[in-house]
Structure 1
Amino acid sequence: MARPLSPAPPFRPRLRVGFVLARRFTLSAFANFVDVLRLAADEGDRSRPIHCSWKVLSASMDPVRSSCGIAVGPDEPLGDPARFDYIVVIGGLIDEIARLDPDYTAFLRRAAEARIPLVGVCTGAFVLHRAGLMQGYRCCVSWFHHDDFLEQFDGLMPVSDRIFVVDRDRLTCSGGASSAHLAAFLVERHIGRAAAQKSLRIMIIAEDMAGDDPQPGLPLDLKTRDPLVRKALLHIQQNMDAPPNVAAVADRLGVSRRKLERHFHEALGLSPNAAFLRVRLAQVRLLLDRSDRSVTQIAAATGFCDASHLIRAFRQAEGMTPAAWRGRAARSGGAQLMPPSWP
């Protein structure tokens, strides 16, 4: 008599991800990350969790409201973090981070003790650091939140000139579209490059980006720890198409123009006007290298009166016209993307 066949072992996806959503989390960062997993998990876009699985975890099983007001319902209680390959924390509004339920902090610490890699997306890095889980690790944050991070946390210098950072079992990214690239990095690691590229193509993301690719933010040669100077530069960055003058920036920051000028000279050796122009020209170079916008369109996007004004300023700074800059980049093959580097 033949022995009865033993039941087949349960199928185990190659990539299992648990999500922790902070209060008022950023919906786009979560959606980009989870959609890469969804599209890599099955053939086409049938969305079956075959190669990947993902669950939204909760301490209370109550829906979590995002910063845009849309609520997401959880799938499972927190439970044992070891059932996942990664725990991904999706952050959001800065003011809500301190209000994270202590049960989540305890869960993240259990995951760290079990050596489950932790991922901080957007201000999820703030959540991990507040839980005491980022000491000794490099940490990526958005250039937009760089100063917020410095104001809230001591002893850790955030990286805000890359789209994501992989440091051993801590992975952090700047949020937005970069969360899709970090998710694709994990898909490539566990499932394969073809699956990662398929996800990005279906999402109409032209090319995969490595962690070393720069965030479109402040130019790297204007680094300073002076908080007043950084806030002024950030204000210009956020108002690129209609840049305020020095007096308006000083008024916005609650200081005199003379004090602002003194801080710029001490921190950068530049006047505020010269520094503001460098911020705008850095954005011009980025748009020339990475877009097909006309010079007129770029001038409008970076606060120049017209194309002629931009061409004069660009020639004075770079020794060539914007068209010549773009032609040189095209002849050299354009900006090269670095392949993913594994930890």
Structure 2
Amino acid sequence: MTRPHSVAVLIRDGVLPMELGLVHQLFGSARSPQGARLYELTTCALTPGRIRTDADFPVYAEHGPEAVAAADTVIVPASHEEDESLTPGGLPPTLAKTLKSATGAGARIASICTGAFVLAAAGLLDGRRATTHWLSTDLFARTFPGVSVDPDVLYVDEGAVLTSAGEAAGIDLCLHMIRRDHGAAVAAEVARRTVVPPHREGGQAQYIRRPVAEPRVTSTSRAREWAQTRLSEPLTLAEMAEQESMSVRTFSRRFREETGLTPMQWLTQRRVDRARELLEETDRTVDRIAAEAGFGTGASLRQHFQAGLGVSPGAYRITFRGTSGGTSRGTRG
């Protein structure tokens, strides 16, 4: 039997209880079809013991840096006490060494909210794309010019290093990692148990407070809902814009403001998601799945799968069909 994927949650004084709790809730809910836990979680700190939160109660971290060294995935929640004061190379030496050693050993590192400042200060985001809470993106970009900051999206997956926006976006990121490790069916079941959507539409740009004098931004959600039910059809940008009675130019601008993606990028992602579900849940051929997901041909589906997931549809089906993720690609070795 494959051992559970180990997740170390590295907390610091000022940790947000919601962020700590959501990691345990989501990864802790992931089960195999036989009911076995797919993740083993450990809460740790550089110095084990009592850790302050930003609420009126502390938490206790029983484990120290050794838990990070043994983990397949390390998650760094935010600490509003210190994150935004961090600068390049400004981490406590022990923390920087702990994170760099983990990545050097092949661990996946993820941050929630302003935890991205920690990853950037450790040099783990240099030359990479990343995000953080929209209130902090300007400061983040000024402090770490070597990082390509995307202020619009809910999370960014750079392979070995992942970052998310505000606290609730940590839910999106955790579900994404579960989906990456164990497939769409497992992630969807975790979402159902937690009563959250398996994939939240839009980016964090939709939550930014805009000046009162600015005209109200019309949502593009109706077009997304319309397209979601017609993925097998050869949809065009003009057709999507028509659903909102907008010009293509206005629709494209509004769409990116809300989702962080172009309409065609969003459409490709939804089609890949649909193809994943069909590969996991049916015996249909790759060509038929390609048609039902809107890719037209098996060759097109293979191209998009390789570009987006790094595997072929056939390899994805072998990994996730029936076992719902018997092999975790996020596990070292």
Q: TM-score, normalised by structure 2?
A: 0.60
Task: Name 1:151's counterpart in structure 2.
Answer: 142
Alignment match, 1:216: 204
Residue in structure 2 matched with residue 342 of structure 1 by the alignment: 309
Q: Which one of 94, 104, 107 corresponds to residue 116 of structure 1?
A: 107
Identical counterparts, % of pairs: 19
Residue 133 (structure 2) aligns with: 142
Equivalent residue letter for 1:118: I
Q: 1:92 to 1:80 in 2, by over 3 A?
A: closer
**Equivalent residue, structure 1, for 2:42:** 55
2:204 aligned counterpart, secondary structure: coil
Out of 195, 198, 204, the residue aligned to residue 207 of structure 1 is 198
Unaligned runs of 5+ in 2: 226-244, 248-265, 274-307, 311-333
- Tell me what 2:328 maps to: none
Looking at structure 2, the residues matched to 52 and 160 of structure 1 have their Cα atoms a distance apart, in angstroms, of: 30
Asked whether the 8 Å contact 1:138–1:157 carries over to 2, the reply is yes
User: Shift in Å at residue 24 of structure 1?
Assistant: 1.4
Equivalence map 1:34-183=2 (5 Å): 34-41=24-31, 50-79=37-66, 81-93=68-80, 95-96=82-83, 98=86, 101-183=92-174
C-alpha separation between the residues in 1 aligned to 2:21 and 2:46?
21
- Which of 180, 185, 208 is residue 189 of structure 1 equivalent to? 180
Shift of 1:182: 1.6
What CA distance in whole angstroms lies between the structure 2 residues aligned with 1:318 and 1:187?
37
Question: Structure 2 vs 1, CA of residues 80 and 206 (structure 1 numbering), >3 Å: closer, same or farther?
Answer: closer
Cα pair distance change 1:149/1:69, threshold 3 Å? farther
Aligned match for 2:17, one of 14, 27, 52: 27
* Equivalent position of 2:232 in the other structure: none
2:67 & 2:23 partners in 1: Cα distance?
22
1:32 positional shift: 2.0
- Consecutive unaligned residues in structure 1, runs of 5 or more: 1-9, 219-233, 245-272, 292-316, 320-334
**Could you say which structure has the larger radius of gyration?**
1
Equivalent position SS for 1:77: coil
8 Å Cα contact 1:139-1:157 kept in structure 2: yes
Give the Cα separation in 2 of the matches to 1:37 and 1:49: 12
Distance, in Å, in 2 between the alignment partners of 1:53 and 1:146 is: 32
Give me the whole-angstrom Cα distance separating, in 2, the residues matched to 1:101 and 1:164: 26
Deviation at 1:59, TM superposition (A): 1.8
RMSD: 3.2
Measured after TM superposition, the shift of residue 37 of structure 1 is 0.6
Amino acid at match of 2:106: R
Deviation, 1:129, is 0.4
Local SS of the residue matching 1:59: coil
Query: 2:230 corresponds to which residue?
Result: none
**Distance in 2 between the 1:193 and 1:113 partners?**
29
Given that 2:111 and 2:163 are in contact with CA atoms closer than 8 Å, whether structure 1 keeps it comes out as yes
Q: What letter matches 1:342 in structure 2? A: L
Return the letter of the residue paired with 1:87.
Answer: V
Query: Which residue of structure 2 lines up, in the alignment, with residue 248 of structure 1?
Result: none
CA distance in 2, matches of 1:70, 1:289: 45
The C-alpha deviation readout for 1:171-222, integer Å capped at 9, x for no partner, is 111132221222122222323322211111121113324xxx532316xxxx
Residues 1:206 and 1:23: Cα distance change in structure 2 (over 3 Å)? same
> Do the aligned partners of residues 130 and 69 (structure 1) sit closer, same or farther apart at CA in structure 2, a change above 3 Å counting?
farther
Q: Contact between 2:83 and 2:114, CA under 8 Å: does it hold in 1?
A: no
CA contact (8 A) 2:8 2:67 kept: no
Report if aligned partners of 1:38, 1:49 keep a CA contact under 8 Å in 2.
no
- Residues 290, 73 of structure 1: alpha-carbon distance in 2 compared, 3 angstrom cutoff: farther
**Change in CA separation of 1:113 and 1:28 when aligned onto 2, cut-off 3 Å:** same
Letter in 2 for 1:216: Q
2:56 and 2:105 mapped to 1: Cα distance? 34
Shift of 1:342: 2.8
Q: Paired residues, what number? A: 233
After superposition, residues 245-324 of structure 1 pair within 5 angstroms as 273=213, 276-277=214-215, 281-282=216-217, 284-285=218-219
Structure 1 residue runs of 4+, over 3 Å off?
Answer: 41-44, 94-102, 286-291
CA distance in 2, matches of 1:40, 1:51: 6
C-alpha change, 1:176 and 1:81, in structure 2 (3 Å) is closer
